[in-house]
């Protein structure tokens, strides 16, 4: 059973809410990528490239330095280059992808 003051508080919630300071709130999650070893990142990307039907994974080399992945080599199309870049981004622990892939004629 509500008491009178509880009922009036519920009817006028704006009067009972203090201003909130949300200046310190963030929507960017903190990611601890240091738990993923560069060798694990490289293997995951190479496996993803092998699974991609359009990708000629033998012509793409993957270099991992910390959280940065660099893709080198030659691909047949811009689509193949984009798919390789996406595969690199999807690997856990990756924060930067440098796409140096060249498109063959």
What is the C-alpha separation between 75 and 79, in angstroms, rounded?
9
pLDDT of 63 > 70? The answer is yes
- pLDDT interval class at 19 (50, 70, 90): low
Is the full-model pTM beyond 0.85? no
Higher pLDDT pick, 57 / 65: 65
Least confidently predicted of 52-56, 57-61, 66-70, 95-99: 52-56
Domains of the chain: 31-103 (3.30.1340.30)
The neighbour count for residue 70, using CB atoms within 10 Å, is: 15
Higher pLDDT pick, 57 / 88: 88
**Packing angle, helices 78-90 and 38-51, rounded to 10:** 140
Q: Which residues contact 88 (CB under 8 A, 6 or more apart)?
A: 45, 62, 69, 71, 94, 97, 99
**pLDDT of amino acid 90:** 94
Is residue 86 within 8 Å of 51, Cβ to Cβ? no
pLDDT of 42 > 50? The answer is yes
């Amino acid at each position: 059973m509500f008491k009178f003051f509880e009922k009036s508080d519920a009817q006028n919630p704006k009067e009972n809410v203090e201003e909130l300071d949300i200046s310190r709130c963030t929507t960017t999650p903190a990611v601890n990528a240091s738990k993923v070893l560069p060798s694990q990142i490289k293997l995951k990307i190479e496996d993803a490239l092998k699974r991609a039907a359009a990708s000629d994974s033998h012509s793409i080399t993957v270099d991992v330095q910390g959280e940065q992945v660099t893709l080198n080599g030659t691909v047949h199309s811009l689509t193949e280059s984009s798919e390789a870049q996406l595969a690199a981004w999807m690997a856990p622990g990756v924060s930067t992808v440098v796409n140096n892939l060249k498109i063959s004629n």
